[in-house]
Amino acid sequence: MWLGPEEVLLAGALWVTERANPFFLLQRRRGHGKGGGLTGLLVGTLDVVLDSSARVAPYRILHQTQDSQVYWAVACGSSRKEITKHWEWLENNLLQTLSIFDNEEDITTFVKGKIHGIIAEENKNEQPQSEEDPGKFKEAELKMRKQFGMPEVEKLVNYYSCSYWKGRVPRQGWLYLTVNHLCFYSFLLGKEVTLVIQWVDVTQLEKNATLLFPECIKVSTRDSELYFSMFLNINETFKLMEQLANIAMRQLLDNESFLQDKSLPKPRRPLKNISALKRDLDARAKNECYRATFRLPKDECLDGHTDCTLWTPFNKMHIPGQMFVSNNYICFASRAEEACHLIIPLREVTIVEKADSSSVLPSPLSISTKSKMTFFFANLKDRDFLVQRISDFLQRTPSKKSCSIDREWKWNVADASSEEVPELPSSSPLAVSPTSALSHRPISFCAGQVPTASQGLLKLFRRNSEELSGPKGAKEKMKEESWNIHFFEYGRGMCMYRTAKTRELVQKGIPENLRGELWLLFSGAWNEMVTHPGYYADLVEKSMGRYNLATEEIERDLHRSMPEHPAFQNELGIAALRRVLTAYAFRNPTIGYCQAMNIVTSVLLLYCNEEEAFWLLVALCERMLPDYYNTRVVGALVDQGIFEELTREYLPQLSEKMQDLGVISTISLSWFLTLFLSVMPFESAVVIVDCFFYEGIKFILQVSLAILDANMEKLLQCCDEGEAMTILGRYLDNVVNRQSVSPPIPHLHALLTSGDDPPLEIDIFELIKTSYEKFGNLKADDIEQMRFKQRLKVIQSLEDTAKKSVVRAVSGDIGFTMEELEELYVVFKAKYLMSCYWGNNRAAAARRDQSLPYLEQYRIDMEQFKELFSSLTPWACGAHTPVLAGRLFRLLDENRDSLINFKEFVTGMSGMYHGDLTEKLKVLYKLHLPPALNPEETESALEATSYFTEDVTTEETQEDKGRRNENGPEKEEKGTSPQDYRYYLRMWAKEKENKKETIKDLPKMSQEQFIELCKTLYNMFSEDPVEQELYHAIATVASLLLRIGEVGKKFSNRPMRKSEDCKANSGQDPVSEEESPTSEQSQNSAVEQQPQADHEDKASADAQPEKTQQENQTLGDGSGEGQGSPLQLLSDDETKDDMSMSSYSMVSTGSLQCEDIADDTVLVGCEGSSAAARYGSTIDTDWSISFEQILASMLTETALVNYFEKKVNILQKIKDQKKVERQFSSSSDYELSSVSG
C-alpha cells in the first residue's frame, strides 16, 4: 500500500536492500523470508514485542536522492507481489520524469506530491479517516490475515499488545479480536506461538487476578484454559471480548443473528480505520443499555447523550443527570439511581424552546407536551446542536393520530378510576364500556364470533361486591387516592416523573383499577401499542382459522389456564385468551407458543383488554424475559444460573445443600417462567407481577432469595429433593394478600401440599419488604453482566447435549466409535458455521431450523462436503477427488434437497473406513452408477432413473423396475391412504426389508461406467507408496474384466437377440444406445488403451492418456441428486457362495472362446485388438459387468486386497484437518515467514 511519505533516518538498520535505482530502494525486513540467521531472529522478536510491530510490513520502498542522507518511505507491502507492483509502477511512470529535474529538492517535492495524489485517489470513495492512523490498522488487519490464514471477509475489530501465559512463561505478542475468532501471535527468539479460537467455542470469560497470574483475562474452551495479561487497558479489552462472544452465542441460539446481523456492518471494501467496527459494537452496547433502562422498543437507536440538570417541581430541585436523545424519545436518568427517571415520547411533544440563560441556570431548554406538562433542562453543553437534532426528529415523527389516542386513553382511564363498573353476569353479552381504552376504535375480528374483551375480564366477572364496601374496599380506595395524589404531583402517563416514591407505591400494591394502565406504562408496552394502531386486529384476522403446531398446543392448554377463575370458565375468557396467544404465535413464529405463556397471558387479560394484553405479552417475551419462551427456555436457564450464583454469594450455608439436593434447577423454572403465578395464590402473585413490571427480573431474583432465606433452617435439615420441594411448596401456598378486594381463588397447588399442622400465613407485603431490606442492593447492570456469563455456560451446555444426542442417534448404524463420532460432529458443525461466517450468509443460515430435531439442524451443501471429503477421505484421488466427492454427495442426498445432515455424512464416511473389502468395493461400485454418477457424465439419463429405482426398492422384480420412473415410489406412497396402524407397521417392515441389500441386488455396470471406475482407481493409487504394484494389479484386473464382459455378452446375446427391448427393461443393458459419435470414439479409444499395460511402468503411463481422453465426458460436480442404501455386511462364506465360482467359470469359458489366447500372460495384451476389430470405433452398448465379477477379479490381486483392507485412523485425519483448516486465504500470494520455532 502507498504511504504518506515519512522521513527515515537509517535506511539500512534491520533492512536488506533488494533492488535500487537512482531515486528508489526496495527493501526487505531482516528475518522475513529465507535465511536471516541470528539477526533475523532478533528482528523477528523485536517486531512482535515492540509496540511498533503492527505497522512493520516485511517490504518497503524508500525514496532517496544522491546527495541527501534523508530517505522517505513511500510504500510498504505484506507480500513480494504487492511491493513489486508498486515498484514497477514507479519505474514505469516516474523514473523518466524525475531524470529531467535538476534540483533534488524539486525531485523530492514532486515525488511526495505524486504519492499524496495517489493516496487521495484511492481514498476518494472510502470512509473519512479517523484520528487514528488508518495505515496502522490496515497493516494489522493484513498481518492478521497472513499469520492466521483468514479470508478477506473476516473483519478485524481491534488488536492489543499482551502476554499469553504458556505454563509459567509469559509470551509477549499480539491479540487480534476478529468478528468470529480470537487470535494470538508471538515470536520470541525463534519460538513461535499461534492461537486461533472461534468465539462459538468459548465456554467462559473471566477477568481475575491471582498470585500466579497478575491481572489477567481467562478464556476457557472445552479443551483448554488460556490466560492473557499485561494489557494497557484490560477493561476495554475484556468488554470487547464479552461482546464478541455474546454475538457468537446469539448465533448459536438463533440463526436470525446470521440472517440479519444488526451488530456489525459488512462493508464491501476492507475497513481502513480502527473505529468503524469497534465503534459499532460500542454503539450496540449503549443502545441495549438505553433500551433496557427506559423499556423502549427493540428498534429504538440512541442518537446521543449529554450531561444536564432537570428541574423537578415536586421537590423544587435541579437534579444532575444525563439526557438521552433517540429517534422517538427524550429520556433523562439522574446520577443517583432512585432520584428520577423520565421518558418523553416525541409524539407527545408540542414545543421545544431555548430559554434565556442566566448565571444560576445556564443554557436552559424547555420541552412542553400535550398533557400540559413542561420540563426544564439546564447546563446543556451544546444546546443549539441538541435543539436542532430534536427538531429533526420531530419532523420525522408520524402523524398525530396515535397521539390523540394516547391522550384520550389517559383521560378515559382517569375517569375509570373513580367510576363504579356495573357487575355483569358471566352469561350476559359484553357491553362496550365508555371507559374502555379503545372504545372509540371497535375491533371486529370475524362476524358471528364471540365478542371481544374490550376491558379487563376482572371488571366483568367481579362477584363479591361486599368486599368493596368493607375494610378491604376502604384500603383499596386509600391506595387509589395515594396514586391520584402521585399523579397530580409527578404527572400521569408516559411522561410521569419516576422516583423512589413511585417504587414505594408499587411495593404497596397497585390498585386493581389502575393495574392495567401502570403495567403498560412501566413495561413500555404502551409505547409499542400506540405506535402500531390496528396491528393486533390485523394479526387476529390473519391468524383466524389457521392451523399449525402452535395453535394445536394453544388449544390443548386453553382450559388449563387459571381454570379456578370464573373469567376462564366461559367462552368469553377462553376466546380472548385464544386470540391473544394465536396472534403472538403468528407475530413471532420463532417462539410460537411455549407452556407458561397461557398462565401469564390469562392474568394479563384480567386487568387489560385484548390488545393491551397482547402488547404486554410482546414486552414480556421479547424484552423483559428474553429467550424465556423458546423451545429450549434458554433465558430461564440463564437466570437459573444467576440465581445459583446469587445463592452462593448471599446464602453460602444453604447453597451447597441446595446443589446436593438439586432443588434450584427444579424450583427456579416454575418460579421464573410463570412469575410465581403457578406456585402462589393468585391475589399474592399478582403483587409480585406489579413489582416485576416496575423493577424487572431483579425483583424476581431478590424475592426468590428471600423465600430461600425464610426457609433456610428447614431446608438445611432436608434429606432429599422431595422434602425440600414440599417445604417450599407449603410456604408459597400460604403467602397471602390480606388487602385484596378480589374473592379468594382456590389454589390447586395447595391441595397437594396441605399438612396436618395449621399453616403459618406469610403476608406478601412483608415478604416484599424483607426482600428489599436483605437483597435490595442487587443492580440491574450486574445482573446483565451475570446473564452474559451464564449464557455462555448454558448455550455451550445445550450444544454439548445436542452433540451427545446426535451421536447416540447415529451410533447404532455406523462403524465409528463414540469418540470418533463426536470429533466428526465438531468438524461437521464447524464447516456449517464457516459457511455462515464467510460464505453466503443468508443461504447457509436459512438452512438451520431450530424447530427440527438436533440431527437435522446442521446441514451442509456440496461445496462444503467436498472440502470435508478432501481432508478426511482415505481414498485420496488427487485432482479427481472433487469428482468423487460430488458423486458420494449425490448418493447420500436421499431427499434430493442438495443438503446432507450429519447422519448421511457419517454414513458415507463409514462406508470408506469400515467393513471388509466387499463393503468398501460396494461403496466404490455405487459411486459409478446413477444416481451418484451424474447422467451427463455418461449421457445415459433414461437409464439413470431406472438404476435409481433399482437401488432403492431392491425387493421389486426387474420388470417393475423397468416400468417405473424415478417418482414412482413417492407417487405410490402418496396414493395409498393410511387406514390404520397396520398400514404403518407394513411400511416400517418394508423399510427394514429394503435395508437388507445383498450384492446380487446391485445393478450391472455398463462399459462407460466401468471405464469411469477404472479412472477413479488409477487416480486413487497415484499417491500410494506401492503405486507401481497397484497400477500393475488394476491393469491386469481391468483387462480381465473387459474379457469377462465380452464373454458374458456372447452368452446373453444368443437367446435374446430378437428382443432387445426386453433386455433394456430387465436391467441387463443400462446404457443408452443413442450415444454421440464423439463420446463413442473417445470411450472406445480409452478402452483400447487401457488393457495394453502388461508391465508396471506401462501401467502408470497408460493412466495419463486415459485421463486426457475422458475429460470431455467427466462432470464431477453436477447437480444431480441421489439416494444411498445402508451398507449390509456380508460374511466371507456368503461372498464365496455368491460369486467366486460363477466368476471363475465364466473366465475359463471366456478364455476358450477367444481366438489368440496362448496362456495367462497373453490375457493382458490381446483384448484391445480384438475389441477394436470387432466393434471398430464405437462403444459396446451390449457389454456389462456385475459387482460379483469385479469383486472376484479384485480378490486375485494381493496388492488391491491389502489396499482396501488397510486400516486408516480417522482421528489423526481430523487432527490434521484442524491444523490446516485456516491455512487458506483469499490472497493466495501472501508469503508465510519461514522463520519458525
Q: Which residue has the higher pLDDT, 12 or 192?
A: 192
Tell how strand 735-736 and strand 762-763 pair up: parallel
pLDDT at 102 (0 to 100): 80
pLDDT at 32 (0 to 100): 63
Note the helical H segments in 295-346.
none
Over residues 951-955, mean pLDDT? 37
Cell triple for residue 388?
436542532
Over residues 854-866, mean pLDDT? 85
Q: How far apart are CA 1190 and CA 1180, in angstroms?
A: 18
Q: How many residues does the chain have?
A: 1237
What 3-state class would DSSP assign to 1023?
A: coil
* Mean pLDDT score across all residues of the chain: 75
Cell triple for residue 5?
511519505
8 Å CB contact between 668 and 636: yes
pLDDT band at 1072 (very low <50, low <70, confident <90, very high): very low
8 Å CB contact between 197 and 221: yes
Q: Could you report the per-residue pLDDT of 28-53, keeping only the tens digit for each?
A: 887 666 555 555 555 555 555 554 44
Cell triple for residue 615?
402488547
Q: Could you report the per-residue pLDDT of 239-272, keeping only the tens digit for each?
A: 999 999 988 888 887 655 444 444 444 433 444 4
Tell how strand 302-312 and strand 191-198 pair up: unpaired
Peptide bond into 265 cis (omega under 30): no
Q: Please report, for residues 159, 227, 243, 1200, the alpha-carbon distance to residue 183 in angstroms, rounded to integers and kept in the order given.
A: 9, 13, 16, 45
Over residues 492-498, mean pLDDT? 92
What 3-state class would DSSP assign to 79?
A: coil
| Least confident range of 922-936, 1004-1018, 1160-1174 | 1160-1174
Q: How far apart are CA 271 and CA 116, in angstroms?
A: 20
Q: Which residue has the higher pLDDT, 910 or 417?
A: 910
Q: How far apart are CA 412 and CA 434, in angstroms?
A: 8
- Whether residue 931 is predicted with pLDDT greater than 90 in this model: the reply is no
Q: Report which of 909, 893, 901 is spatially closest to residue 858, judged by C-alpha positions.
A: 901
Give how far the C-alpha of residue 507 lies from the chain's centroid of Cα atoms, to the nearest Å.
41
* Residue 308 DSSP symbol: E
Angle between helices 1096-1110 and 1027-1056 (to 10 degrees): 60
Over residues 916-923, mean pLDDT? 87
8 Å CB contact between 28 and 170: no
* Residue 1073 DSSP symbol: S
Residue linked to cell 403465578 = 677
- In terms of phi and psi (left: phi > 0; alpha: psi -120 to 50; beta: otherwise), the region of 149 is left
- Whether residue 640 is predicted with pLDDT greater than 70 in this model: the reply is yes
Cell triple for residue 496?
410521569
Q: Please report, for residues 14, 80, 189, 280, 1207, the alpha-carbon distance to residue 39 in angstroms, rounded to integers and kept in the order given.
A: 8, 21, 10, 42, 47
Q: What share of the chain is helix, strand, coil (3-state, %, to 5)?
A: 55, 10, 35
- Whether residue 627 is predicted with pLDDT greater than 60 in this model: the reply is yes
8 Å CB contact between 16 and 27: yes
299 Cβ neighbours under 8 A, 6+ residues apart: none
* Three-state DSSP string of 746-773: CCHHHHHHCCCCCCCCEEHHHHHHHHHH
What's at 144, amino acid-wise? M
Question: Which is it for the CA torsion 102, 103, 106, 107, positive or negative?
Answer: positive
What 3-state class would DSSP assign to 5?
A: strand
CB atoms within 10 A of CB 395: 8
Q: Could you report the per-residue pLDDT of 685-707, keeping only the tens digit for each?
A: 999 999 999 999 999 999 999 99
Residue linked to cell 459411486 = 927
pLDDT at 464 (0 to 100): 54
8 Å CB contact between 1021 and 1120: no
1061 Cβ neighbours under 8 A, 6+ residues apart: none
Q: How far apart are the first and last CA of the chain?
A: 30
- Whether residue 651 is predicted with pLDDT greater than 70 in this model: the reply is yes
What 3-state class would DSSP assign to 592?
A: coil
CB atoms within 10 A of CB 471: 10
Q: How far apart are CA 92 and CA 1135, in angstroms?
A: 73
Strand partners, 1006: 1184
Cell triple for residue 664?
434450584
Q: Please report, for residues 456, 522, 694, 1091, the alpha-carbon distance to residue 409 in angstroms, rounded to integers and kept in the order given.
A: 15, 16, 21, 92
Angle, CA of 78, 82 and 88, to the nearest 5°: 140
Q: Please report, for residues 43, 71, 80, 113, 264, the alpha-carbon distance to residue 136 in angstroms, rounded to integers and kept in the order given.
A: 19, 20, 19, 21, 21
Determine phi and psi for 941, rounding to 5 degrees: -65, -40
982 Cβ neighbours under 8 A, 6+ residues apart: none
Q: How far apart are CA 662 and CA 685, in angstroms?
A: 25
Q: Could you report the per-residue pLDDT of 328-362, keeping only the tens digit for each?
A: 999 999 988 778 999 999 999 999 998 888 877 88
Q: Please report, for residues 1039, 1042, 1053, 1154, the alpha-carbon distance to residue 1142 in angstroms, rounded to integers and kept in the order given.
A: 18, 16, 18, 18
Q: Give per-residue burial for 77-107: e unless 16+ CB within 10 Å, then b.
A: bbbbebbeebbeebeeebeeebeebeeeeeb
Q: Which helix (H) or strand (E) holds 1197?
A: none
Strand partners, 874: none
Over residues 406-427, mean pLDDT? 36
What's at 1208, amino acid-wise? V
pLDDT at 1026 (0 to 100): 86
337 Cβ neighbours under 8 A, 6+ residues apart: none
Q: Report which of 903, 899, 904, 909 is spatially closest to residue 873, judged by C-alpha positions.
A: 909
Percent of the chain with pLDDT over 70: 69
Percent of the chain with pLDDT over 90: 23
1011 Cβ neighbours under 8 A, 6+ residues apart: 1083, 1086, 1087, 1090, 1106, 1110
Cell triple for residue 527?
409505547
Q: How far apart are CA 332 and CA 336, in angstroms?
A: 12
Q: How far apart are CA 44 and CA 51, in angstroms?
A: 13
pLDDT band at 12 (very low <50, low <70, confident <90, very high): low
- Whether residue 498 is predicted with pLDDT greater than 90 in this model: the reply is yes
pLDDT at 1223 (0 to 100): 42
Q: Could you report the per-residue pLDDT of 822-844, keeping only the tens digit for each?
A: 989 988 888 888 777 766 544 55
Cell triple for residue 1173?
476389430
Q: How far apart are CA 171 and CA 188, in angstroms?
A: 8
Angle, CA of 529, 532 and 534, to the nearest 5°: 100
Tell me the longest C-alpha to C-alpha distance in the chain: 121
Over residues 381-385, mean pLDDT? 88
Q: Report which of 988, 1177, 1154 is spatially closest to residue 1079, judged by C-alpha positions.
A: 1177
8 Å CB contact between 569 and 563: yes
Q: How far apart are CA 462 and CA 567, in angstroms?
A: 9
What 3-state class would DSSP assign to 977?
A: coil
Over residues 661-667, mean pLDDT? 81
Over residues 508-513, mean pLDDT? 90
Q: Report which of 1003, 1005, 1002, 1013 is spatially closest to residue 1038, judged by C-alpha positions.
A: 1013
